[in-house]
Amino acid sequence: MAGMNRDARIYLAGHRGLVGGAILRRLQAEGYGNLVTRTSAELDLRDQAAVKAFFEQERPEYVFLAAAKVGGILANSTYPAQFLYDNLMIAANVIHASHKTGVRKLLNLGSSCIYPRLAPQPLREESLLTGPLEDTNRAYAVAKIAAIELCDHYRAQYGDDFISAMPTNLYGPGDNFDLQGSHVLPALMRKIVEAREANAPQVEVWGSGTPLREFLYVDDLADACLFLMQNVSESGPINVGTGKDLAIRELAELIAKEVGYTGQLAFDASKPDGTPRKLMDISHLGKLGWQAETSLQIGIQKTLDWYSSNVSPRIVE
């Protein structure tokens, strides 16, 4: 396959988010200079007419669809209508406009939550649509499944080169550390850092601590996205992860060690755990020629460095 030229016109949707920011850093580092971005204030991707006008004016050759409304268990449970509507509209508008304006290739970013709650572990791409979803993020998952279906059907009906990547739980520079809407790793990081700063005797951790989760450093995902855009053309979801998981309790203990917090971790089993386990089968992407490079310990250290510089400057290691 002929990869993207360095002067190719590339639209990166969601460049201010965790994933989009990492892809932007990677593209710039690789010398791609013809990048098109818009903030959500400049372009509301839920507005079909606005998206149509944007694509007709800018005419991107390649599209990274990393824009989404995202959040953890609390946010997904509290605002399911917004998670479903916003993500459906974003995907439908961007994918359809990409088709209508002749985009050469589109990479749609999804999530491991598309798979059934009790799908066999590790999660294989073939498990999609084989059972009920996890209730706490069903709205988001349905929207992301619809986006995969859109890409696949535009490929089948029109020959559009639209592909879909499904990353596992992500973390890294630019993450959301707001406790009302963040995912488990950044939420734990903030709680534990603030407990250390306050010399608090304990940190409350949601859930039992037993669920198993896999974590991928976001710059590794950006590397995978560039690899997929350059080398892969096929239908269906493509899992992106590390192939390794650990219990939430182990994650909290690892973060506490890296932060230097010596207080107690208090697990509140009355809070929801979510899916018991979410480990991705990454054998397909491995056979295609890609694997993650950043260990969880190194990734947490890098994320802590970013957090201390950008969110909590009081941290002094």
Find the CATH number of the domain harbouring 20. Answer: 3.40.50.720
Cα–Cα distance measured from residue 135 to residue 293, given in angstroms and rounded to the nearest whole number: 32
Count of domains for the chain: 2
Three-state DSSP class for residue 217: strand
pLDDT for 1 equals: 46
Do the Cβ atoms of 76 and 143 come closer than 8 Å?
A: no
Share of the chain above pLDDT 90, in %: 85
Residue 231 lies in a domain: yes
304 and 195, same domain (yes or no) = yes
150 and 193, same domain (yes or no) = no
| Integer angstrom CA distances of residue 49 from 43, 82, 164 | 10, 20, 24
The model's pLDDT over 286-298, given as tens digits with 9 standing for 90+, comes to: 999 999 999 999 9
146 and 157, same domain (yes or no) = yes
Residue 4 lies in a domain: no
**CATH assignment at residue 301:** 3.90.25.10
55 and 200, same domain (yes or no) = no
> What's this model's pTM, rounded to 2 decimal places?
0.92
Name the burial class of residue 137, with classes exposed (0-12), middle (13-18) and buried (19+) by CB atoms within 10 angstroms of its CB: buried
Mean pLDDT across the chain: 94
Do the Cβ atoms of 294 and 232 come closer than 8 Å?
A: no
Domain of residue 108: give its range.
10-171+214-240
Do the Cβ atoms of 255 and 307 come closer than 8 Å?
A: no
The model's pLDDT over 230-277, given as tens digits with 9 standing for 90+, comes to: 999 999 999 999 999 999 999 999 999 999 999 999 999 998 887 788
Active site residues: 140
195 and 230, same domain (yes or no) = no
